[in-house]
Structure 1
Amino acid sequence: MKKISRLLHHNILLIFLILAVELLFLRLSLPRFFSLGTLLSFGRQTAITAILAIGMGIVLISGGIDLSLGAIVSMIGMVAATFMVRLNLPIPIVVLSCILLGGLLGAVNGFICAKVRIHPFILTTASAVIYRGAANILSNGMPIYGLPGNFLQIDKYHLFGIPVSVLILLMCLLMGNYLLKKTYLGKYIYAIGLDEKSAEYAGINSRQIKIIVYCISGFFYGIASILLLTRIGSAQPTAMNGIELDVLVAAAIGGIGFKGGRGHLLNIILGVFVMEIFGDTLIVFNVGEYYRSIFKGIVLLIALFADGALRNDRNIS
């Protein structure tokens, strides 16, 4: 069991093997999937979920969880659309302010979680209801259309043939990885995720770190929200409803520890790729969304079982 658990959680080669099998299967069954246009579209589609996964990954490594990310994305989208359509604010100001709003909403989650000591599962479930309700209030439950053409062109920009959304994803990955691997804050995040009490005995202010972690994750949610808005062309109060499960499954595939203290952001990005390619495969073969939901549940159960087994092995050793 110890070897299986470590394989599931640490062997990046296993993730690459799964990706290779999926791509080979698609190559044989659907050659047109590998056309340039399809690959570019896949990259833009996956980038948004992957950026959300980076934010969630940092939270998971710290020992928390965030079930409000979809609601935060929806609320930020509504605010951005309101600023541009109804107030005619300049696009750069809207983009910057909405990314900062994401950080603020995340910081609110972190503050309550740290100060009131509410379990993040309960807290972020409650905040998701609040943020989603606020998004509906802003638009009276209706989508907001009429976004500026210059703003919608952002999704179509390319640099050296690479979609700008993919480049933004790479930048987010580099920033997140640098934060976790090259800074003291990153070491503190791993420490409180591994053992919060021990980290506090070592002089780490775990409450302050939690606030910072949720604030950083909110910044990533804000970036993803702007990209989503440019992609779909309107603000939807139900946007990204249920995305939390996709991100958690990607984290499970990528070996992010659900009890904190372990994981790599690159792995969770690869987990997103695995999930998106698997979803496209089901669509190609006309397999219903219900079967995909079953698959997500099974993956989560296996990951939770393996995570618990690995924890027990470490405690025994």
Structure 2
Amino acid sequence: MLLKSPWSPRLAGVEGTLCDRLVASLSEDILSGTLSGGDRLPAHRELAWSLGIGTGSVTKAYAVLERQGLIRGIKGRGTFVSVGSARRDALIDLSTNTLPLMLTDKLLSRTLSAISRRIDSDHVNLHPPAVGHDEHRRLLARWLGRQCVEACPEQLILTGSGQQALWLAFDILCGGRGIIVTERIGYSGALALARHRGHPLCAIGMDVEGMCPEDLDRELGDHDSNGRRRLVYVTPTVQNPTTRTMGAARRQAIVDICRRHATPIVEDGVYTLGNDPSLPPLVHLWPEGVFHVSSLSKSLSNGLRLGVLLAPPQGIAQARSALEAIPMTSSPVD
């Protein structure tokens, strides 16, 4: 017979989803010592029934708490508190790359209400252009300008996410099975995308500022690529996952090397918002050779799935052709 859980189920009175509120209440009771190490937690269905919520919310909350090291699930036995004593310091979860909550219910309600009063129904009712609506591109160009990324609206391509913008840039520059030269430790999403599309990866050494110019110069000077096109994929600001940021001299060195070897760059700029203006984006240093990728999900909220690709003029025609085969246009509602 299983022992009854000593926890009195409750949802914390904080803003957020039901999952967030359940995580907050359990975290508080575990860290305060109300629950002790080894205490059993209610079963998923039992807890969902007592709180009047879906079992999916309970499952998600338990998964979050397990990643945080606060609970553990034992197959066939149940879920238990895994910390032995109360902690005084707040827990900081570094297991996921998630922004803090910035779009509260009230802010989101006011924003959507304001948008509804001046929305253009044609943006929803009519088939959107392959590269995105002109008005949306104009607004995104202005937003990029605040990040020191000077962009003409005509050079912007809007996609459903930053990941899709990377997909499009890789395909434009490398086609099928081109070589992607990138940091030795890189963004898992981009690496998975490259492997999915059949692009061989070439790893470049890193130091405290990220990609090493000497290693890059040596690799691009090697002409043994079997006729495959190459591109350099790099994140100069808050590189994922190392968080390293290139100084101004390093950025110029990377651009000079790629320009000398006539190798285009895909710059991942999703973390550029709030960057030091003395650190120019690579696209500013070489506008005709850099494809710049940005995204709202890493700047405003994870749920805003809108990607932006700033392409040189010669890349726009290729992008239109690619988007005719694989539409990636962003949602008009976003």
TM-score by length of 2: 0.24
Give the number of the structure whose residues are more often strand, by fraction.
2
TM-score by length of 1: 0.25
Give the number of the structure whose residues are more often helix, by fraction.
1
Larger Rg: 2
Pick 1 or 2: higher relative contact order, CA cutoff 8 A, min separation 6. 1
